[in-house]
Structure 1
Amino acid sequence: MLYLRQMVKRCARNYPTKTAYFCGDRSATWQQMDERSDRFAVALQRMGHKKGTAIAILTQETIEVYEHFFACMKIGAIRVGINTQYAWPEIRHVLKDSKTKVLMVDARCRHIADEHRAEIEELGIALIGYNGAHDYPHDYETLLREAKGEPQWPELAPDDVLYYSYTSGTTGVPKGVMLTQQGGADTVIHSLISFGFSPDDTWYMPAASAWVVIIMNCFNLGNAMTVVIPDGSFKVDTFLRDVEKRRVTVALLVPTMIHRAIAEQQARNHDLSSLRLLMYGSSPATPKLIRDAREAFKVEMLQTYALTESTGGWVTYLTEEDHKRALESEPGLLKSVGRVGIHFDCEIRDEEGKPLPPNTKGEIWLRGRTLMKGYLNLPKETGDAFKDGWLRTNDIGMMDERGYVYLLDRQKFMIITGAVNVFPTTVEAVLIEHPAIQEIAVVGVPHPEWGEAVAAVVVPKPTHKDVTVADIIEFCAGKLSRPETPKHVVFVDELIKTANAKVKKAEIRKWLSTEKGLVPWNTEIE
């Protein structure tokens, strides 16, 4: 099969002088990416590292992130991204769980590594510093200058691990998802085909690279297009300036980023005429947000649904034609995540694993070649996730008779109130239409009478700070059933989010459940 490391070489040979990556004011051609990743691969092999070795990186967004990944690909090492938002116990768990042997540290993240340097070195991990002053045993640029020749390429098998992607860590310790060589290669090729990307596109996906989404900024391996990455981290004003400066043609944002981008564009009016397609995914978007984005950016739109366990390999697509049909005559389609790509089988099944008929709520099961190998060092969890080659996604959804999938919610976020199942996204889709609401998260909070009660955490728009709990609840009349209607609303300035702007519902639920007085029925300290 064609592995990603071969694609690096082909891009360098066929498009040597073309820009592979822009990052702020820096850029790198395909030839430079290939040569520098070769040198780092040689340096790693000289240090005694080989196929199967875990090589980690603790960094903000830089071009070196991809040199590191490409070098790992070439020698069959396993790439490990360290989430800079993790607390130290989570970082320590990732380093130990993955058996990391090398940690490459961005000088901007030195404070994290330096505070716990003794523990890191006790684990036998070699430290490599880059992108600024440091006192680590190895310096990245020095290693590259001293490396000569090309690395030795070990034999690879399709199910060899390409990288570990650790879960967000919102509940318990992070789980390492083992993603394979075949899964990575298939994700790149199928994504390019399904999205309609060409070598002349310029792609911008500004999420943090520590986890599975790093593969999205490797889509260019399949067609040599140019990729723009954030310089450091995502900032909405910088994102829009980059789109204007680099003439970005296709971008992907999660819904919370789109909210902020719309407000920034309305305030600054950047020249976004190069942008032809805005993709969105990662978490459900409301129909209102979709309409607002189309109006603000004047672009085609494409919705996607994927999981870490699918190598970020897109499972479904709601195409531009689907969006047009929804806006013209079928508004209900905007609640869909689209139809399943040809590289997956998908079924909706009940709690016993039996397939359900169309338009019936159940768990989404998947089968395909981009699925994970399993959870690292967790055989029971891996066995629970896979049944006869099918992955149980833990996502609740349904599929209509035309094949459109509707993602209702994660099982762990479903609220059971008075024996009635309530899907938070259903409530959020209604409430976001309220003129005073900028962002919202709906969760279940323990209740002495109903078991759980629906609670909404709301970020009001700056122009509607006077909105009240009664206003929000009254708005639900005739739109939501009584069990779905929030029993209380809490107003905040900002929702708790991950580094990739995903709302941390587990933390929000814990906060509401444990802090006295946030909801009126929780007046006693446990």
Structure 2
Amino acid sequence: MLPRDMIRRCGRNYPDKNAYLCGERSATWQQMDRRSDRFGVALQKLGHRSGDAVALLTFETIEVYEHFFACMKIGAPRVGLNTQYPWPEMVHVLKDSETRYLLVHARCRQLVADHLAEIATLGITLIGYGPGHGMPLDYEQLLADADGEPAWPALTGDDLLLISYTSGTTGVPKGVMLTQEGGANCILHSLISFGFARDDVWYVPASSAWVVVMMGVFGLGNAMTVAIPDGGFQIQNFLQEVGRFKVTVGLLVPTMLQRAIAEVQSNPVYDLSSLRLMVYGSSPATPKLIRDAKASFKVALIQTYAMTEATGGWISYLTNADHDKALRDEPGLLKSVGKIGVHYDCSIRDEQGQSLPVGEAGEIWLRGNTLMKGYRNLSKATADALTEGWLRTNDIGRLDERGYLYLMDRQKFMIITGAVNVFPTSVEAVLVEHPAVEEVAVVGVPHPEWGEAVVAVVVRRASHATATAADIAGFCDGRLSRPETPKHVVFVAALPKTTNAKVKKNELKKWLSNEPGLVPWSTTIE
């Protein structure tokens, strides 16, 4: 069974049930099935062939999922463009994915307005939606002119469902190729593991530009209703819509959760009575945050560990019972990301790939049926990551004797800031181009709001000894996304290095975290 089969069955078996809620709009499963049929027909009339990538550049709207469903039906790898990407990263994604059709929301027109000629030279057909989009083709007109059902090309479980772009160590986003089988299993195992029911209303407030879009299609597995923000996430709107939509299950990363708690405590007017479960993950949460969440929302909590390379499928789960036990008599359990789901094998291994005893830290290796096919156009990176059916996660962790997984270092030196993954080397590749920068090391430093903040440690060239932190940070405009841009710059005479000339990033991080006054915020996280 492929995801497109689920669309058809939801449309036929639950025609009048709401599939999506978004602001003042809603769409039933039958409407989603029929409108995605029409977009699929329209694309095929324009010349789409199975395997041609279809991208979109938009904020959150119901059309995000009409687009994805049409892609599922006609065998089009779905590609999301991150609205925070500067143009060089956007055009890299379009070229790397070999996108042939691009759907652009009117609110995103300004992001491509100066590059329409370049997009045309890539052989990409532009389609717009929303008032004043200004694109050559209009989405609603294409749907009006389309009729019937699209031809369903033959697909296997190994064919591409989507390509999700994530920050890469080469300085440009790398495309994670995710399969039809992986998508179907991600949907079904997520529903089972969380205990989602057909009558649940599941609120997904995160950006759909990357693999998080999979969370927005969980309803395909049980016909539940999915609520999404109208345009973008705002904490007050989220809390209001929990009451208005009768949301039963919500998803908040710790940064959002912290803001939600503060809002509820300062303004206790929200109706949260329908909420039964809050899912959180993507970055660490402190015991205080968990206690505050329990007190403020009075709901069950589940923490998760996931990654793009596993189709965003949640790998482990710290259940509500685990939370209760931790708060009652085992606080150290809150440092765990829970137990591995039954759809994965997990092995902790040393640098030679040998299994380690229980309790020892090493690299987390995973095996299961949601793993990526590989990194697009990056054969070496793919070979490094996939070994005999196992995914080398590049995350360091340990398993205890009860099966709880503890993350020791997420993807070596990857920074998680506000639930956004930032690879230091990507930032360093930009900063080193500044004429004042002789050497630079980028690390994550604890931050009271963002979890971690990106900090650049810079050795200035002698010829630019007067360069300021503002000079360095300003250089990032248009070159890095906001999460990647350093929140602080520290100047040093030299970087600490090992005997083989590798920068001691752990030493830098410890220094910045523990020495008062080096960063303009408190690094002591309760």
Same-fold call, TM > 0.5?
yes
Corresponding residue for residue 107 of structure 1: 106
Corresponding residue for residue 390 of structure 1: 390
Q: Is the 8 A contact 2:282 2:306 kept in 1?
A: yes
Taking a change above 3 Å as real, the CA distance of residues 503 and 410 of structure 1, as seen in their structure-2 partners, is farther
SS at match of 2:314: coil
Matches within 5 A, 1:12-51: 12-51=11-50
| Long gaps (5+) in structure 2 | 429-439, 451-468, 470-480, 495-510, 519-526
SS at match of 1:127: strand
Taking a change above 3 Å as real, the CA distance of residues 457 and 363 of structure 1, as seen in their structure-2 partners, is closer
* In structure 2, distance between residues paired with 1:95 and 1:515: 41
Corresponding residue for residue 3 of structure 1: 2
Q: Which amino acid aligns with 2:378?
A: L
Structure 1 residue 510 displacement after superposition: 8.2
Corresponding residue for residue 338 of structure 1: 338
Structure 1 residue 456 displacement after superposition: 3.9
**Partner deviation per Cα, 1:139-167 (whole Å, 9 max, x = no partner):** 00000000011101011111100000000
Q: Is the 8 A contact 1:513 1:522 kept in 2?
A: no
**Partner deviation per Cα, 1:261-316 (whole Å, 9 max, x = no partner):** 11111122211111000000111222221111111111100011110000011110
Structure 1 residue 244 displacement after superposition: 1.2
| 1:68 paired to 2:67 | yes
**Partner deviation per Cα, 1:67-104 (whole Å, 9 max, x = no partner):** 00000000011100000000000000000000100110
Matches within 5 A, 1:425-504: 456=445, 458-459=447-448, 504=483
Corresponding residue for residue 463 of structure 2: none
Corresponding residue for residue 122 of structure 1: 121
Structure 1 residue 319 displacement after superposition: 0.6
* In structure 2, distance between residues paired with 1:187 and 1:54: 21
Structure 1 residue 205 displacement after superposition: 1.4
Taking a change above 3 Å as real, the CA distance of residues 289 and 76 of structure 1, as seen in their structure-2 partners, is same
Structure 1 residue 507 displacement after superposition: 4.5
Q: Which amino acid aligns with 2:165?
A: Y
Corresponding residue for residue 174 of structure 1: 173
**Partner deviation per Cα, 1:461-500 (whole Å, 9 max, x = no partner):** 9xxxxxxxxxxxxxxxxxxxxxxxxxxxx9xxxxxxxxxx
Q: Is the 8 A contact 1:90 1:169 kept in 2?
A: no
Q: Which amino acid aligns with 1:343?
A: H
Moved more, 507-516 or 87-96: 507-516
**Partner deviation per Cα, 1:381-435 (whole Å, 9 max, x = no partner):** 0001111211110111110001000012224328xxxxxxxxx99xx9xxxxxxx
| 1:412 paired to 2:421 | no
SS at match of 1:89: helix
| 1:97 paired to 2:96 | yes
Q: Is the 8 A contact 1:57 1:82 kept in 2?
A: yes
Corresponding residue for residue 498 of structure 2: none
Q: Which amino acid aligns with 1:310?
A: A
Taking a change above 3 Å as real, the CA distance of residues 513 and 188 of structure 1, as seen in their structure-2 partners, is farther
Corresponding residue for residue 432 of structure 1: none
**Partner deviation per Cα, 1:219-265 (whole Å, 9 max, x = no partner):** 00000000000100111111111111101000111111111111111
Q: Is the 8 A contact 1:244 1:272 kept in 2?
A: yes
Corresponding residue for residue 365 of structure 1: 365
Q: Which amino acid aligns with 2:33?
A: D
Structure 1 residue 135 displacement after superposition: 2.6
* In structure 2, distance between residues paired with 1:196 and 1:503: 36
Corresponding residue for residue 493 of structure 1: none
* In structure 2, distance between residues paired with 1:210 and 1:114: 19
**Partner deviation per Cα, 1:328-360 (whole Å, 9 max, x = no partner):** 121111111000011100011111111111111
Corresponding residue for residue 484 of structure 1: none
| 1:257 paired to 2:275 | no
Taking a change above 3 Å as real, the CA distance of residues 142 and 276 of structure 1, as seen in their structure-2 partners, is same
Structure 1 residue 459 displacement after superposition: 4.7
SS at match of 1:412: coil
Taking a change above 3 Å as real, the CA distance of residues 281 and 171 of structure 1, as seen in their structure-2 partners, is farther
* In structure 2, distance between residues paired with 1:315 and 1:340: 6
Taking a change above 3 Å as real, the CA distance of residues 454 and 13 of structure 1, as seen in their structure-2 partners, is closer
Structure 1 residue 457 displacement after superposition: 5.4
Corresponding residue for residue 165 of structure 1: 164
**Partner deviation per Cα, 1:25-65 (whole Å, 9 max, x = no partner):** 00001111000000000000001102101000000000000
Taking a change above 3 Å as real, the CA distance of residues 452 and 101 of structure 1, as seen in their structure-2 partners, is closer
Taking a change above 3 Å as real, the CA distance of residues 251 and 515 of structure 1, as seen in their structure-2 partners, is farther
Taking a change above 3 Å as real, the CA distance of residues 522 and 92 of structure 1, as seen in their structure-2 partners, is farther
Taking a change above 3 Å as real, the CA distance of residues 510 and 47 of structure 1, as seen in their structure-2 partners, is farther
Q: Which amino acid aligns with 1:238?
A: N
TM-score after normalising by structure 2: 0.81
Identical aligned residues as a percent: 62
Matches within 5 A, 1:206-217: 206-217=205-216
Corresponding residue for residue 145 of structure 2: 146
* In structure 1, distance between residues paired with 2:392 and 2:219: 30
Q: Is the 8 A contact 1:170 1:507 kept in 2?
A: no
Taking a change above 3 Å as real, the CA distance of residues 522 and 203 of structure 1, as seen in their structure-2 partners, is closer
**Partner deviation per Cα, 1:432-475 (whole Å, 9 max, x = no partner):** xxxxxxxxx9x9999xxxx99998454589xxxxxxxxxxxxxx
* In structure 1, distance between residues paired with 2:248 and 2:329: 28
| 1:306 paired to 2:306 | yes
Taking a change above 3 Å as real, the CA distance of residues 213 and 460 of structure 1, as seen in their structure-2 partners, is closer
SS at match of 1:359: coil
Corresponding residue for residue 323 of structure 1: 323
Taking a change above 3 Å as real, the CA distance of residues 185 and 34 of structure 1, as seen in their structure-2 partners, is same
* In structure 1, distance between residues paired with 2:196 and 2:68: 22
Structure 1 residue 509 displacement after superposition: 8.3
* In structure 2, distance between residues paired with 1:131 and 1:455: 39
TM-score after normalising by structure 1: 0.81
Q: Which amino acid aligns with 2:395?
A: D
